Amino acid sequence: MKSTLVFALCFLLLAAGPLSGDQILARAGSATGLSSYSVPVHFDVHMHRPLGMSTGVEGIVYFKAPARAALVITKMPSIIGKFFKGSYSLDLSPQTWPAKYTVTSVSQPQADGAAVYALRAVPKADPSVDHVVFTVTQADYMPVSVVWSYRDGSSISVTMQCQRVSGNALPQTESIAVNMPQYGLDAKAQYGSYALNAPVPDSVFEH
């Protein structure tokens, strides 16, 4: 009886086959029971150009299902304010990824000794992005890093440590490198406590 059950389980696993790239990305960005969140975030910013300086920046990250996210800057030194606006659409929230990107290829490299999936993807609607590479762990589909490559040669690279909050992978800390024509910077982001499923007005996402 035991051998029959083992055989049946193996058959089901083989019949199911490996997950597609889009299915892996969906697991990394799952939003089970999550309609929205807001979370304060502190950035230690090191700007390289056009000014060389270090400063702190405060903001709030908002997410609203199915795939809307925004960063609202709440405190920033005026000397760098001219390079930034008050709010941004952003894809730093893994819950936005499945709706915004289509995975075109999957590889299975190692990252810091751990087995990961590297998912090369293209945007569904943003013509400025050439491609994106998402890296997630094979063991539990936890997001590890994202690199956006733009058609003008710009890039944004994010290495993240996520935590499970009510079963969903949400950022806890991030290391960010931005290389744009107008400016270049590195930043460390520290997220605070998440407020889950609280009302988030649509005006937050209007830029």
Domain spans in the chain, listed from the N-terminal domain onward: 17-205
pLDDT-derived band at 92, boundaries 50, 70, 90:
confident
Q: Is 133 exposed, middle or buried (0-12, 13-18, 19+ CB in 10 A)?
A: middle
The CATH fold assigned to 17-205 is outer membrane lipoprotein receptor (LolB), chain A (2.50.20)
Chain segment 20-63, per-residue pLDDT in tens:
999 999 999 998 899 999 999 999 999 888 888 888 999 999 99
Across the range 135-142, mean pLDDT stands at 95
Chain segment 1-30, per-residue pLDDT in tens:
555 554 554 544 444 568 899 999 999 999
Q: Where are the beta strands (DSSP E) in 50-113?
A: 53-64, 68-75, 87-89, 101-107, 110-111
81 vs 90, more confident: 90
Omega before residue 201 within 30° of 0, cis: no
User: pTM score, two decimals?
Assistant: 0.85
Determine what percent of the chain is predicted with pLDDT higher than 70. Answer: 86
